Chains A and B, each alone.
Chain A
Amino acid sequence: MARDDHSGGSWWSRFRALPNDDPIKTMAMTVAVAFVGSVLVASSAILLKPLQIANKEAERRKHFDEIIRQLPGADDVLIADRIQVEARVVDLESGEYAVSIDPTRYDQRRAAKDPARSVKIPEKHDIAGLRNRERFAIVYLIRQAEQLRLMILPVRGRGFGSMLHGYLGLAGDGNTVVGLSFYEHGETPGLGSLIDAPGWKMQWRGKKVWDAGVLKLGVGSGRIEPGSEEARYQVDGLTGATWTGRGVTNLLHYWLGEHGFAPYLRKLRRQGG
Protein backbone atom coordinates (compact mmCIF):
# COMPACT_ATOMS: atom_id res chain seq x y z
CA MET A 1 0.00 0.00 0.00
CA ALA A 2 1.55 3.31 -1.04
CA ARG A 3 1.57 5.84 1.74
CA ASP A 4 3.16 9.24 2.17
CA ASP A 5 5.35 9.15 5.21
CA HIS A 6 5.84 12.60 6.64
CA SER A 7 6.92 11.89 10.18
CA GLY A 8 6.24 14.72 12.59
CA GLY A 9 4.75 17.74 10.83
CA SER A 10 1.16 18.86 11.05
CA TRP A 11 -1.79 16.73 12.21
CA TRP A 12 -2.81 16.46 8.58
CA SER A 13 0.37 14.71 7.51
CA ARG A 14 0.24 12.57 10.64
CA PHE A 15 -3.32 11.65 9.75
CA ARG A 16 -2.34 10.82 6.21
CA ALA A 17 0.46 8.64 7.51
CA LEU A 18 -1.91 6.53 9.63
CA PRO A 19 -2.38 2.99 8.35
CA ASN A 20 -5.59 2.66 6.37
CA ASP A 21 -7.05 0.14 8.80
CA ASP A 22 -6.56 2.42 11.77
CA PRO A 23 -9.98 2.90 13.45
CA ILE A 24 -9.66 6.68 13.56
CA LYS A 25 -8.75 6.88 9.90
CA THR A 26 -11.54 4.46 9.01
CA MET A 27 -14.07 6.61 10.84
CA ALA A 28 -12.70 9.85 9.44
CA MET A 29 -12.70 8.57 5.86
CA THR A 30 -16.23 7.21 6.19
CA VAL A 31 -17.54 10.46 7.63
CA ALA A 32 -15.70 12.53 5.03
CA VAL A 33 -17.06 10.50 2.10
CA ALA A 34 -20.57 10.53 3.56
CA PHE A 35 -20.34 14.28 4.09
CA VAL A 36 -19.15 15.05 0.56
CA GLY A 37 -21.79 12.69 -0.85
CA SER A 38 -24.59 14.30 1.12
CA VAL A 39 -23.52 17.80 0.12
CA LEU A 40 -23.56 16.71 -3.54
CA VAL A 41 -26.98 15.09 -3.23
CA ALA A 42 -28.54 17.89 -1.21
CA SER A 43 -27.26 20.68 -3.41
CA SER A 44 -28.37 18.98 -6.63
CA ALA A 45 -31.79 18.31 -5.13
CA ILE A 46 -32.23 21.90 -3.98
CA LEU A 47 -30.80 23.58 -7.07
CA LEU A 48 -32.87 21.51 -9.48
CA LYS A 49 -36.09 21.57 -7.50
CA PRO A 50 -37.71 24.54 -9.31
CA LEU A 51 -37.19 22.82 -12.68
CA GLN A 52 -38.56 19.53 -11.39
CA ILE A 53 -41.65 21.20 -9.96
CA ALA A 54 -42.27 22.92 -13.29
CA ASN A 55 -41.95 19.55 -15.06
CA LYS A 56 -44.42 17.92 -12.71
CA GLU A 57 -46.86 20.77 -13.14
CA ALA A 58 -46.60 20.49 -16.94
CA GLU A 59 -47.22 16.75 -16.66
CA ARG A 60 -50.30 17.34 -14.51
CA ARG A 61 -51.65 19.84 -17.03
CA LYS A 62 -51.01 17.44 -19.89
CA HIS A 63 -53.12 14.72 -18.27
CA PHE A 64 -55.80 17.25 -17.41
CA ASP A 65 -56.04 18.49 -21.00
CA GLU A 66 -56.03 14.92 -22.23
CA ILE A 67 -59.36 14.31 -20.48
CA ILE A 68 -60.87 17.44 -21.99
CA ARG A 69 -59.76 16.22 -25.40
CA GLN A 70 -61.57 12.94 -24.83
CA LEU A 71 -64.87 14.71 -24.37
CA PRO A 72 -67.15 13.45 -27.16
CA GLY A 73 -67.35 16.16 -29.77
CA ALA A 74 -64.35 18.00 -28.40
CA ASP A 75 -62.70 18.90 -31.68
CA ASP A 76 -59.63 21.02 -32.11
CA VAL A 77 -61.68 24.18 -32.55
CA LEU A 78 -63.21 23.64 -29.15
CA ILE A 79 -59.82 23.00 -27.56
CA ALA A 80 -58.29 25.97 -29.35
CA ASP A 81 -61.09 28.17 -28.11
CA ARG A 82 -59.93 27.13 -24.68
CA ILE A 83 -63.30 26.17 -23.36
CA GLN A 84 -63.90 27.91 -20.09
CA VAL A 85 -62.73 25.67 -17.28
CA GLU A 86 -64.41 26.71 -14.08
CA ALA A 87 -62.66 25.66 -10.88
CA ARG A 88 -64.86 25.36 -7.79
CA VAL A 89 -64.02 24.32 -4.25
CA VAL A 90 -66.36 21.71 -2.81
CA ASP A 91 -66.93 20.84 0.83
CA LEU A 92 -66.79 17.08 0.47
CA GLU A 93 -68.89 16.33 3.53
CA SER A 94 -71.89 18.46 2.64
CA GLY A 95 -71.38 18.53 -1.10
CA GLU A 96 -71.84 22.31 -1.10
CA TYR A 97 -69.54 24.79 -2.78
CA ALA A 98 -67.21 26.50 -0.34
CA VAL A 99 -67.27 30.05 -1.67
CA SER A 100 -64.89 31.35 0.98
CA ILE A 101 -61.93 29.43 -0.50
CA ASP A 102 -60.18 30.75 -3.56
CA PRO A 103 -59.53 27.76 -5.88
CA THR A 104 -56.51 29.46 -7.43
CA ARG A 105 -54.81 29.65 -4.05
CA TYR A 106 -55.98 26.35 -2.59
CA ASP A 107 -53.36 23.59 -2.48
CA GLN A 108 -55.40 20.44 -2.14
CA ARG A 109 -52.48 18.06 -1.78
CA ARG A 110 -50.99 20.09 1.00
CA ALA A 111 -54.36 20.37 2.73
CA ALA A 112 -54.64 16.58 2.77
CA LYS A 113 -51.52 16.42 4.90
CA ASP A 114 -52.55 19.21 7.26
CA PRO A 115 -54.43 17.82 10.31
CA ALA A 116 -56.36 21.10 10.67
CA ARG A 117 -57.68 20.96 7.13
CA SER A 118 -58.25 17.21 6.77
CA VAL A 119 -60.28 14.49 8.42
CA LYS A 120 -59.16 11.05 9.48
CA ILE A 121 -60.81 8.36 7.41
CA PRO A 122 -62.31 5.53 9.50
CA GLU A 123 -60.38 2.36 8.72
CA LYS A 124 -63.27 0.43 7.25
CA HIS A 125 -64.00 3.21 4.78
CA ASP A 126 -60.36 3.75 3.88
CA ILE A 127 -60.38 1.45 0.86
CA ALA A 128 -58.03 3.73 -1.09
CA GLY A 129 -55.37 3.61 1.66
CA LEU A 130 -55.30 7.37 2.20
CA ARG A 131 -55.57 7.62 6.03
CA ASN A 132 -56.52 11.31 5.80
CA ARG A 133 -58.75 13.16 3.41
CA GLU A 134 -58.86 16.90 2.88
CA ARG A 135 -62.12 18.65 3.80
CA PHE A 136 -62.26 20.57 0.57
CA ALA A 137 -61.59 19.45 -2.98
CA ILE A 138 -61.34 21.36 -6.23
CA VAL A 139 -63.60 20.26 -9.06
CA TYR A 140 -63.26 21.57 -12.58
CA LEU A 141 -66.42 22.16 -14.58
CA ILE A 142 -66.75 22.74 -18.28
CA ARG A 143 -70.00 24.15 -19.60
CA GLN A 144 -71.12 24.71 -23.12
CA ALA A 145 -74.18 26.78 -23.83
CA GLU A 146 -75.13 26.81 -20.15
CA GLN A 147 -75.03 23.03 -20.07
CA LEU A 148 -72.58 21.09 -17.92
CA ARG A 149 -70.56 18.96 -20.32
CA LEU A 150 -67.67 17.71 -18.23
CA MET A 151 -66.51 17.66 -14.66
CA ILE A 152 -62.99 16.71 -13.71
CA LEU A 153 -62.45 15.34 -10.22
CA PRO A 154 -59.05 14.86 -8.61
CA VAL A 155 -58.62 11.28 -7.37
CA ARG A 156 -55.84 9.44 -5.65
CA GLY A 157 -55.18 6.18 -3.89
CA ARG A 158 -52.73 3.43 -3.21
CA GLY A 159 -51.82 1.14 -6.07
CA PHE A 160 -49.17 -1.51 -5.67
CA GLY A 161 -46.71 0.22 -3.39
CA SER A 162 -47.15 3.74 -4.70
CA MET A 163 -49.68 6.53 -4.55
CA LEU A 164 -51.60 7.10 -7.77
CA HIS A 165 -52.58 10.71 -8.46
CA GLY A 166 -54.96 11.38 -11.28
CA TYR A 167 -58.08 12.95 -12.69
CA LEU A 168 -61.42 11.37 -13.41
CA GLY A 169 -63.53 13.07 -16.03
CA LEU A 170 -67.30 12.54 -15.85
CA ALA A 171 -69.81 13.71 -18.42
CA GLY A 172 -72.53 16.17 -17.44
CA ASP A 173 -74.91 13.36 -16.45
CA GLY A 174 -72.48 12.37 -13.68
CA ASN A 175 -72.78 8.74 -14.69
CA THR A 176 -70.60 8.43 -17.79
CA VAL A 177 -66.80 8.38 -17.73
CA VAL A 178 -65.02 10.66 -20.18
CA GLY A 179 -61.52 9.74 -19.13
CA LEU A 180 -59.25 8.61 -16.32
CA SER A 181 -55.63 9.66 -16.32
CA PHE A 182 -52.88 9.34 -13.71
CA TYR A 183 -50.24 12.05 -13.81
CA GLU A 184 -48.12 10.72 -10.98
CA HIS A 185 -47.42 7.19 -9.82
CA GLY A 186 -44.55 4.81 -9.12
CA GLU A 187 -45.98 1.53 -10.31
CA THR A 188 -43.79 -1.31 -11.60
CA PRO A 189 -42.42 -0.48 -15.07
CA GLY A 190 -43.99 -2.64 -17.76
CA LEU A 191 -46.71 -3.99 -15.45
CA GLY A 192 -48.54 -1.52 -13.23
CA SER A 193 -47.13 1.38 -15.22
CA LEU A 194 -49.41 0.26 -18.07
CA ILE A 195 -52.10 2.42 -16.47
CA ASP A 196 -50.39 5.02 -18.68
CA ALA A 197 -50.87 2.96 -21.85
CA PRO A 198 -53.11 4.88 -24.27
CA GLY A 199 -55.01 1.74 -25.32
CA TRP A 200 -56.01 0.91 -21.77
CA LYS A 201 -56.83 4.49 -20.89
CA MET A 202 -59.15 4.81 -23.87
CA GLN A 203 -61.23 1.91 -22.55
CA TRP A 204 -62.55 4.10 -19.75
CA ARG A 205 -64.32 6.36 -22.17
CA GLY A 206 -68.08 5.81 -22.06
CA LYS A 207 -68.11 3.46 -19.07
CA LYS A 208 -71.04 3.91 -16.71
CA VAL A 209 -70.49 4.55 -13.02
CA TRP A 210 -73.71 3.45 -11.31
CA ASP A 211 -76.19 0.71 -12.04
CA ALA A 212 -79.40 1.63 -10.23
CA GLY A 213 -77.50 3.24 -7.39
CA VAL A 214 -74.83 0.53 -7.15
CA LEU A 215 -71.27 1.68 -7.89
CA LYS A 216 -69.95 -0.71 -10.52
CA LEU A 217 -67.19 1.24 -12.24
CA GLY A 218 -63.79 -0.41 -12.01
CA VAL A 219 -61.07 -2.63 -13.41
CA GLY A 220 -62.24 -6.12 -14.26
CA SER A 221 -60.27 -9.32 -14.02
CA GLY A 222 -58.79 -10.50 -17.27
CA ARG A 223 -60.23 -9.45 -20.59
CA ILE A 224 -63.70 -7.98 -20.53
CA GLU A 225 -65.75 -9.23 -23.47
CA PRO A 226 -67.02 -6.21 -25.43
CA GLY A 227 -70.80 -6.08 -25.43
CA SER A 228 -71.09 -8.08 -22.23
CA GLU A 229 -72.83 -6.77 -19.12
CA GLU A 230 -69.50 -6.09 -17.37
CA ALA A 231 -68.24 -4.10 -20.34
CA ARG A 232 -70.70 -1.35 -19.45
CA TYR A 233 -68.84 -0.67 -16.21
CA GLN A 234 -65.43 -2.34 -16.34
CA VAL A 235 -62.20 -2.10 -18.30
CA ASP A 236 -59.77 -4.98 -18.93
CA GLY A 237 -57.62 -6.13 -16.05
CA LEU A 238 -53.89 -5.48 -16.35
CA THR A 239 -51.89 -8.69 -16.72
CA GLY A 240 -49.34 -9.04 -13.93
CA ALA A 241 -50.65 -5.97 -12.14
CA THR A 242 -53.62 -7.30 -10.18
CA TRP A 243 -52.89 -5.02 -7.24
CA THR A 244 -52.58 -1.93 -9.37
CA GLY A 245 -55.95 -2.70 -10.97
CA ARG A 246 -57.51 -3.34 -7.59
CA GLY A 247 -56.02 -0.06 -6.36
CA VAL A 248 -57.59 1.83 -9.26
CA THR A 249 -61.00 0.25 -8.56
CA ASN A 250 -60.69 1.04 -4.86
CA LEU A 251 -59.74 4.64 -5.35
CA LEU A 252 -62.62 5.15 -7.78
CA HIS A 253 -65.01 3.59 -5.30
CA TYR A 254 -63.65 5.74 -2.51
CA TRP A 255 -63.81 9.03 -4.38
CA LEU A 256 -67.19 8.33 -5.97
CA GLY A 257 -68.52 6.96 -2.68
CA GLU A 258 -70.15 8.62 0.31
CA HIS A 259 -66.78 9.73 1.72
CA GLY A 260 -65.77 11.23 -1.59
CA PHE A 261 -67.77 13.15 -4.15
CA ALA A 262 -71.12 11.31 -3.83
CA PRO A 263 -72.84 14.06 -1.78
CA TYR A 264 -71.63 16.66 -4.26
CA LEU A 265 -72.68 14.64 -7.30
CA ARG A 266 -76.14 14.06 -5.82
CA LYS A 267 -76.58 17.75 -5.23
CA LEU A 268 -75.40 18.53 -8.73
CA ARG A 269 -77.90 16.11 -10.23
CA ARG A 270 -80.75 17.53 -8.20
CA GLN A 271 -79.93 21.00 -9.47
CA GLY A 272 -79.69 19.65 -12.98
CA GLY A 273 -76.12 20.81 -13.43
Chain B
Amino acid sequence: MNDNGMTKALITPLVGANPITVQILGICSALAITKTLATALIMSAAVIAVLTLSNSFISAIRHHMPRNVRLIIQITIICSLVIVVDQVLQAFAYGLAKQLSVFVGLIVTNCIILARAESFAMNNPVHLSTMDGLGNGLGYSWVLIVVGSIRELLGTGKLLGLVVLPTASQQGWFEPLAILLLPPSAFFIIGFLIWAIRSWHPAQVETSEFQTRPELEAGE
Protein backbone atom coordinates (compact mmCIF):
# COMPACT_ATOMS: atom_id res chain seq x y z
CA MET B 1 0.00 0.00 0.00
CA ASN B 2 1.12 3.53 -0.58
CA ASP B 3 0.83 6.66 1.47
CA ASN B 4 -2.26 7.54 -0.46
CA GLY B 5 -4.23 4.67 1.07
CA MET B 6 -3.08 5.59 4.55
CA THR B 7 -3.99 9.24 4.12
CA LYS B 8 -7.37 8.24 2.78
CA ALA B 9 -7.98 5.90 5.73
CA LEU B 10 -7.11 8.76 8.04
CA ILE B 11 -9.02 11.56 6.33
CA THR B 12 -12.27 9.87 5.30
CA PRO B 13 -13.65 9.41 8.84
CA LEU B 14 -13.07 13.06 9.72
CA VAL B 15 -16.04 14.46 7.80
CA GLY B 16 -16.97 12.20 4.91
CA ALA B 17 -17.69 9.14 7.06
CA ASN B 18 -17.63 10.71 10.50
CA PRO B 19 -18.73 8.14 13.10
CA ILE B 20 -20.98 10.59 14.96
CA THR B 21 -22.45 12.85 12.30
CA VAL B 22 -22.74 10.36 9.43
CA GLN B 23 -22.97 6.94 11.06
CA ILE B 24 -24.70 8.33 14.17
CA LEU B 25 -22.65 6.06 16.45
CA GLY B 26 -21.28 6.80 19.90
CA ILE B 27 -24.02 9.32 20.65
CA CYS B 28 -24.49 8.13 24.24
CA SER B 29 -21.03 9.17 25.38
CA ALA B 30 -21.22 12.33 23.25
CA LEU B 31 -24.22 13.40 25.34
CA ALA B 32 -22.88 12.33 28.68
CA ILE B 33 -19.38 13.72 28.88
CA THR B 34 -19.50 16.96 26.88
CA LYS B 35 -20.67 19.19 29.73
CA THR B 36 -17.17 20.60 29.97
CA LEU B 37 -14.34 20.80 27.48
CA ALA B 38 -11.89 19.09 29.85
CA THR B 39 -13.92 15.90 30.11
CA ALA B 40 -14.50 15.92 26.33
CA LEU B 41 -10.74 16.18 25.76
CA ILE B 42 -9.88 13.33 28.13
CA MET B 43 -12.63 11.15 26.68
CA SER B 44 -11.33 11.91 23.18
CA ALA B 45 -7.80 10.92 24.11
CA ALA B 46 -9.06 7.70 25.69
CA VAL B 47 -11.16 6.75 22.67
CA ILE B 48 -8.37 7.57 20.21
CA ALA B 49 -5.96 5.36 22.16
CA VAL B 50 -8.38 2.44 22.43
CA LEU B 51 -9.61 2.67 18.85
CA THR B 52 -6.15 2.93 17.28
CA LEU B 53 -4.69 0.09 19.31
CA SER B 54 -7.68 -2.22 19.04
CA ASN B 55 -7.81 -1.74 15.28
CA SER B 56 -4.11 -2.53 14.89
CA PHE B 57 -4.14 -5.56 17.24
CA ILE B 58 -7.21 -7.03 15.63
CA SER B 59 -5.85 -6.41 12.17
CA ALA B 60 -2.56 -8.08 13.13
CA ILE B 61 -4.26 -11.36 14.02
CA ARG B 62 -7.04 -11.17 11.41
CA HIS B 63 -5.71 -14.11 9.37
CA HIS B 64 -5.85 -16.38 12.40
CA MET B 65 -9.09 -15.17 13.91
CA PRO B 66 -11.39 -18.13 14.64
CA ARG B 67 -14.62 -17.15 12.88
CA ASN B 68 -17.02 -18.58 15.44
CA VAL B 69 -15.58 -16.73 18.45
CA ARG B 70 -14.27 -13.64 16.69
CA LEU B 71 -16.58 -11.20 18.48
CA ILE B 72 -15.50 -12.58 21.85
CA ILE B 73 -11.85 -12.19 20.91
CA GLN B 74 -12.39 -8.66 19.62
CA ILE B 75 -14.23 -7.66 22.79
CA THR B 76 -11.50 -9.24 24.95
CA ILE B 77 -8.90 -7.10 23.21
CA ILE B 78 -11.04 -3.97 23.48
CA CYS B 79 -11.82 -4.63 27.16
CA SER B 80 -8.16 -5.09 28.03
CA LEU B 81 -7.27 -1.83 26.34
CA VAL B 82 -10.10 0.04 28.06
CA ILE B 83 -9.05 -1.23 31.48
CA VAL B 84 -5.47 -0.15 30.83
CA VAL B 85 -6.66 3.32 29.73
CA ASP B 86 -8.88 3.53 32.82
CA GLN B 87 -5.95 2.63 35.07
CA VAL B 88 -3.75 5.23 33.39
CA LEU B 89 -6.41 7.92 33.84
CA GLN B 90 -6.86 7.04 37.50
CA ALA B 91 -3.14 7.37 37.99
CA PHE B 92 -2.47 10.54 36.00
CA ALA B 93 -5.77 12.41 35.75
CA TYR B 94 -7.62 11.35 38.88
CA GLY B 95 -9.96 14.33 39.14
CA LEU B 96 -11.13 14.06 35.54
CA ALA B 97 -11.32 10.27 35.71
CA LYS B 98 -13.63 10.71 38.68
CA GLN B 99 -15.86 13.03 36.66
CA LEU B 100 -15.94 10.60 33.74
CA SER B 101 -16.65 7.76 36.20
CA VAL B 102 -18.36 4.87 34.42
CA PHE B 103 -18.05 6.41 30.98
CA VAL B 104 -14.43 5.34 30.62
CA GLY B 105 -15.44 1.73 31.22
CA LEU B 106 -18.33 2.18 28.85
CA ILE B 107 -15.92 2.81 25.97
CA VAL B 108 -16.10 -0.98 25.63
CA THR B 109 -19.70 -0.65 24.52
CA ASN B 110 -19.02 2.32 22.26
CA CYS B 111 -20.35 1.08 18.93
CA ILE B 112 -17.64 2.88 16.98
CA ILE B 113 -14.89 0.61 18.27
CA LEU B 114 -16.49 -2.74 17.48
CA ALA B 115 -17.82 -1.34 14.21
CA ARG B 116 -14.32 -0.41 13.04
CA ALA B 117 -12.93 -3.76 14.19
CA GLU B 118 -15.56 -5.75 12.32
CA SER B 119 -15.87 -3.67 9.20
CA PHE B 120 -12.32 -2.44 8.72
CA ALA B 121 -9.62 -4.07 10.83
CA MET B 122 -10.80 -7.60 10.01
CA ASN B 123 -10.29 -6.97 6.29
CA ASN B 124 -7.36 -4.59 6.03
CA PRO B 125 -3.61 -4.64 6.76
CA VAL B 126 -2.23 -3.27 10.01
CA HIS B 127 -1.00 0.11 8.78
CA LEU B 128 -4.33 0.96 7.15
CA SER B 129 -6.30 -0.26 10.16
CA THR B 130 -4.18 1.82 12.49
CA MET B 131 -4.82 4.89 10.36
CA ASP B 132 -8.51 4.08 10.19
CA GLY B 133 -8.65 3.77 13.98
CA LEU B 134 -6.81 7.05 14.41
CA GLY B 135 -9.01 8.76 11.82
CA ASN B 136 -12.24 7.58 13.41
CA GLY B 137 -10.93 8.52 16.82
CA LEU B 138 -10.16 12.01 15.56
CA GLY B 139 -13.53 12.22 13.81
CA TYR B 140 -15.25 11.33 17.09
CA SER B 141 -13.00 13.71 19.01
CA TRP B 142 -13.55 16.87 17.02
CA VAL B 143 -17.32 16.52 17.35
CA LEU B 144 -16.93 15.96 21.10
CA ILE B 145 -14.61 18.93 21.43
CA VAL B 146 -16.95 21.22 19.47
CA VAL B 147 -19.96 20.12 21.53
CA GLY B 148 -17.98 20.35 24.78
CA SER B 149 -16.69 23.84 23.95
CA ILE B 150 -20.14 25.15 23.05
CA ARG B 151 -21.73 23.67 26.15
CA GLU B 152 -19.11 24.86 28.59
CA LEU B 153 -18.73 28.30 27.03
CA LEU B 154 -22.42 29.13 26.75
CA GLY B 155 -23.44 27.14 29.81
CA THR B 156 -20.96 28.61 32.26
CA GLY B 157 -19.07 31.36 30.40
CA LYS B 158 -15.84 29.45 30.90
CA LEU B 159 -13.52 27.32 28.80
CA LEU B 160 -11.38 24.70 30.56
CA GLY B 161 -12.43 26.40 33.77
CA LEU B 162 -11.06 29.80 32.74
CA VAL B 163 -13.48 32.72 32.51
CA VAL B 164 -14.01 33.76 28.89
CA LEU B 165 -17.38 35.46 29.14
CA PRO B 166 -17.76 37.15 32.54
CA THR B 167 -21.16 36.10 33.89
CA ALA B 168 -23.75 38.44 35.31
CA SER B 169 -23.44 36.86 38.75
CA GLN B 170 -19.78 37.97 38.77
CA GLN B 171 -20.40 41.59 37.68
CA GLY B 172 -20.09 40.64 34.01
CA TRP B 173 -22.66 40.87 31.24
CA PHE B 174 -23.10 37.25 30.17
CA GLU B 175 -26.20 35.34 31.22
CA PRO B 176 -25.31 31.61 31.14
CA LEU B 177 -27.74 29.30 29.36
CA ALA B 178 -28.41 26.65 31.97
CA ILE B 179 -30.06 24.33 29.46
CA LEU B 180 -26.67 23.71 27.85
CA LEU B 181 -25.53 21.96 31.00
CA LEU B 182 -28.28 19.38 30.64
CA PRO B 183 -27.70 16.30 28.44
CA PRO B 184 -30.49 17.07 25.90
CA SER B 185 -28.63 20.19 24.76
CA ALA B 186 -25.92 17.95 23.30
CA PHE B 187 -28.65 16.40 21.13
CA PHE B 188 -29.55 19.82 19.75
CA ILE B 189 -25.94 20.76 19.10
CA ILE B 190 -25.16 17.47 17.36
CA GLY B 191 -28.38 17.89 15.37
CA PHE B 192 -27.37 21.36 14.19
CA LEU B 193 -23.90 20.06 13.42
CA ILE B 194 -25.32 17.27 11.25
CA TRP B 195 -27.54 19.81 9.50
CA ALA B 196 -24.56 22.08 8.83
CA ILE B 197 -22.38 19.26 7.52
CA ARG B 198 -25.14 17.92 5.28
CA SER B 199 -25.79 21.36 3.83
CA TRP B 200 -22.11 21.46 2.97
CA HIS B 201 -21.98 17.82 1.73
CA PRO B 202 -25.47 17.19 0.31
CA ALA B 203 -24.34 13.69 -0.71
CA GLN B 204 -24.67 12.66 2.97
CA VAL B 205 -28.40 13.37 3.01
CA GLU B 206 -30.22 10.05 3.17
CA THR B 207 -33.23 9.38 0.99
CA SER B 208 -36.28 9.32 3.19
CA GLU B 209 -37.52 5.83 3.99
CA PHE B 210 -41.18 6.72 3.65
CA GLN B 211 -42.99 8.86 1.13
CA THR B 212 -45.76 11.03 2.47
CA ARG B 213 -48.99 10.08 0.71
CA PRO B 214 -49.90 12.82 -1.73
CA GLU B 215 -53.53 13.09 -0.57
CA LEU B 216 -52.32 13.83 2.96
CA GLU B 217 -50.07 16.57 1.67
CA ALA B 218 -52.97 17.99 -0.29
CA GLY B 219 -55.17 17.84 2.78
CA GLU B 220 -52.83 20.01 4.80
Contact = CB atoms under 8 A, between A and B. Distances in A.
Interface in A50-87: 51-52, 55-56, 58-59
B80 A37 contact: yes
B63 A1 contact: yes
B88 A37 contact: no
Interface in B57-100: 61, 63-69, 72-73, 76-77, 79-81, 83-84, 87-88, 90-92, 94, 98
A20 B67 contact: yes
**Interface residues of B: mostly helix, strand, loop or mixed?**
helix
Interface stretch (A39-47, A229-237, A264-272): A39-47
B102 interface: yes
A16 interface: yes
Interface of A: 1-4, 16, 20-21, 25-26, 29-30, 33-34, 36-38, 40-41, 44-45, 48, 51-52, 55-56, 58-59, 186, 189-190, 193
Given A21-B66, A29-B66, 19 more contacts: A1-B63, A16-B64, A20-B64, A26-B66, A26-B68, A29-B64, A29-B69, A40-B81, A41-B80, A41-B84, A45-B83, A45-B87, A48-B90, A51-B91, A52-B94, A55-B90, A189-B103, A190-B32, A193-B101
Given A21-B67, A26-B66, A33 B91 contact: no
B146 to A, nearest CB: 21
Contacts of B183: 190
20 contacts: A3-B63, A16-B64, A20-B64, A20-B66, A26-B68, A29-B66, A29-B73, A30-B66, A30-B69, A33-B61, A34-B76, A37-B76, A48-B88, A48-B90, A48-B91, A52-B91, A55-B94, A189-B32, A189-B103, A190-B183
Nearest to B65: A20
Contacts of B87: 41, 44-45, 48, 52
A36 B58 CA distance: 13
A218 B138 CA distance: 47
Contacts, number: 78
Interface in B104-151: none
Contacts of B79: 37
A189 B68 CA distance: 37
Contacts of B92: 51
A65 to B, nearest CB: 15
Contacts of B103: 189
Given A1-B63, A20-B64, A189 B88 contact: no
A51 B93 CA distance: 10
A226 B184 CA distance: 31
A155 B137 CA distance: 42
